[in-house]
Amino acid sequence: MEKAAILFHLGPLAISSIVVTTWGIMAFLGLFSWLATRHLSTDPGPLQAMLEGSISAIEAAIKAVLPQGGEKVLPFIATLWFYIVTANLVGLIPGLGSPTAHLSVTTGLALLVFLSVHWFGIRNEGLIAYLRHYLSPSPILLPFHIISELTRTVALAVRLFGNMMSLEMAALLLLLVAGLLVPIPLLMLHIIEALVQAYIFGMLALIYVAGAMQSRTEINHEKERSET
Amino acid sequence: MDLDWTTFILEIVNFLVLVWILKRFLYRPVLEVIARRRTQIEEALSEARDTRQQADTLKEQFEGRLAGWETEREAAHAKLLEEVAIERQHLMAAVAKAMDEEKAKRKAIVERQQQDWLRTAAEQGVAQGQAFASRLLERLAGPELEAGLFGLLLQDLAQLPEQQRKDLAAAAGREARLDVLSAYPLAAEQRNELTAALQAVLGRELPAGFGEQPDLVAGFLITVGPWVMHANLRDELRFFGE
C-alpha cells in the first residue's frame, strides 16, 4: 500500500488525502444527521424510521453486552460503527480510498478504544477498583493483563487495516491482470467485508469497554468460582 | 505500513469531533424522540389500563345492578303472585257472598211465592167456603133460622161486658133512635123483647123503629146512633170472606 498523498500543509501539519477524506466523511455524516433530525416527530417517516431502527438496534446490542450504563458508551460505539462502515465503503467510490486501509487511521481508532476502555472503566468502577482487576485472580497475572491490553489493541488496528488494505489491493491486482469489469464480484465482497469488519471492530470495542466497566463483577465471579 | 503521526493525531481528533457531532445532531434527538414515544406509549397504555379498569368497574356495577334488578324482579313477581292470590281470595269470597246472597234472595222469593200461593189458596179456600156457606145458608134461611138468630142476639146482648155497655150508652147520645132491620118481619112480642134487651144494655129508653131488608138473608141490622150491630148472615159471611 503506497503512502497517502500530501494534499496541502496547514502550518506545520501536512494534510494527507486520508485526513481530507475523513473530513469529507465527517461532513457527510454531520450534514446528514442535521438534515435528518430537524423535523423529528412521534409519527416517523421512512427516513426517521430507518434512523430510529439503526440506533435502536445499536442500543439493543449494547444493552445485551452491557445491561447497565450502556447509554454512556452508546455515542462512542455507535460512532465507531457509523464511521468505520462509511470509511470502509468510501473505497468503492472511484478516486477515493478507504481511510481504514491505512495503519495511521486504524491505529488511531485502536488507541481511542484502548483509552476509552480505561476511561469508562475508571468512571464506572473508580480508579482503585478498576486497577485492582489487573491483579485478579492473582498478582502474578499482571504482566499478562498488560500484554493482553496491548496486543488486543494492536490486533484491533492491524485486523481492520489488513482486511481493508488487502481487499483494495486484491481488487487493484485483478483490475491490472484481468480487465475493467472482473473486479466487480470482488467489490461486492468488499461491501460485505466492510460491514463485517466494522461490526467486528465496534463489537470488540464494546466488549472491551463492557469488560472494563464490569471488572468488579468479574472479580466477584472469579472469587465465587475459586471458593466453589 | 508507514505510520504517519500527523494523520494519526488528526484522525484521533477528527474521530472525537465526529463523536461530538453525531451525539449532538443524531443520537440525542433520535433517542429523545424514541423516549418521547415510549412515554406516549406508556401513557396510552396507562390510559388504556385505567379505561379497562373503569370498564371492569362499570361492568361489575352493571352486573351488580342486573343482579339487583333480577332480585327486585323476583321480589316483585312474588309480591304480584301474592297480591293476585289475595285478590283471588277476595274475589272468590265476593263471589261466594254474592252466591249466598243470591241463594238467600232466591230462597226468600221462593218462600214469598210459597206464602203467596198459600195465601191465594187460603183466599180461594175461604172464598169457596164462603160461596159454599152462602149457598148453603141461603138454602137454609127461613123463619126458623131467623128465630134461632134472634135467640142468639138476645143471649149476646145479655152477656155484653159492662165496659162495652158504658161505651154504647155514651155513643148513643141523648137524641139517638133505635133502628132495627130484619130479613123477615118480627112479631110484636119479638119486637118488645128486643127493645127491652137493647134498652137494658143502653140503660134508657129510646124511640125504636123496625123495618125489613130481605138481602140480609137471615138475622138483623141494628143501628143506635153511630153504633151499628151486624147480626145477620149477609154481613157475617162478608166478614168471614174478608
Interchain proximity B26–A16, CB inside 8 Å: no
Considering the domain boundaries, does residue A28 fall inside one? no
Does position B192 have pLDDT exceeding 80, yes or no? yes
Buried b (16+ CB within 10 A) or exposed e, B206-217: bebebeeeeebb
How many residues in total does chain B contain? 242
Most confident of the ranges B63-72, B140-149, B197-206: B63-72
Q: Model confidence over B35-62: pLDDT tens digits?
A: 998 899 999 999 999 999 999 999 999 9
- Which of B15, B41, B43 is the best substitution to test chain A (most A C-beta atoms within 10 A)? B15
| Alpha-carbon span A202 to B141, nearest angstrom | 171
Q: Is the pLDDT of residue B190 over 90?
A: no
Let me know: does A156 contact A198? Beta carbons within 8 Å: no
Residue from B4, B34, B39 whose CB has the most chain A CBs within 10 Å, to mutate: B4
Residue A14 lies in a domain: no
Amino acid at A123: R
A194-218 tens-digit pLDDT: 999 999 999 999 999 998 988 766 6
Number of folded domains in chain A? 1
Residue B29 cell numbers, joined: 434527538
Supply the ipTM of this predicted assembly.
Answer: 0.90
Interface of A with B in 9-48 (CB under 8 A): 13-16, 18-19, 22-23, 25-26, 29-30, 33-34, 36-37, 40-42, 44, 48
Q: Is residue A15 part of a domain?
A: no
Indicate whether A1 pLDDT > 80: no
The answer to whether the CB of A97 falls within 8 A of the CB of A91 is: yes
Are B31 and A104 within 8 A, CB to CB? no
CB of B81 within 8 Å of any CB in chain A?
A: no
Task: For chain A, say whether B37 makes contact (Cβ under 8 Å).
Answer: yes
Q: Within a 10 A sphere around the Cβ of B179, how many other Cβ atoms?
A: 17
Q: In this structure, is residue A83 part of a structural domain?
A: yes
Q: How far does Cα A15 stand from its chain's mean position? A: 23
Residue-level pLDDT at B11: 93
pLDDT of residue B154: 87
In three-state secondary structure terms, B182 is: strand
Cβ count near A59 (within 10 Å): 19
Mean pLDDT across A36-52: 88
Q: What residue segments make up the domains of chain B, in order of their start?
A: 142-241
- C-alpha B49, offset from chain centre: 73
- Whether chain B has a CB inside 8 Å of the CB on A4: the answer is yes
Average pLDDT over residues A26-53: 91
The residues pairing with B230 across neighbouring beta strands, listed in sequence order, are: B221
* A142-182 pLDDT, tens digit each: 999 899 999 999 999 999 999 999 888 887 888 788 777 77
Residue B209 φ/ψ, nearest 5 degrees: -135, 140
Domain limits for position A187: 42-227
Residue A30 counted as domain residue: no
- Residue A35 included in any domain: no
In-domain check, residue A172: yes
A143 found inside a domain: yes
**Which region among A136-150, B33-47, B83-97, B169-183 has the lowest average model confidence (pLDDT)?**
B169-183
Task: State the Cα–Cα distance between residues A121 and B128, nearest whole angstrom.
Answer: 154
Q: Who has greater pLDDT, A77 or B165?
A: A77
C-beta of residue B206 within 8 angstroms of C-beta of residue B176: yes
Residue A14 phi/psi, 5-degree rounding, is -90, 115
| Residue A70 pLDDT greater than 70, yes or no | yes
Q: Given B7, B30, B40, which is nearest A4 (Cβ)? A: B7
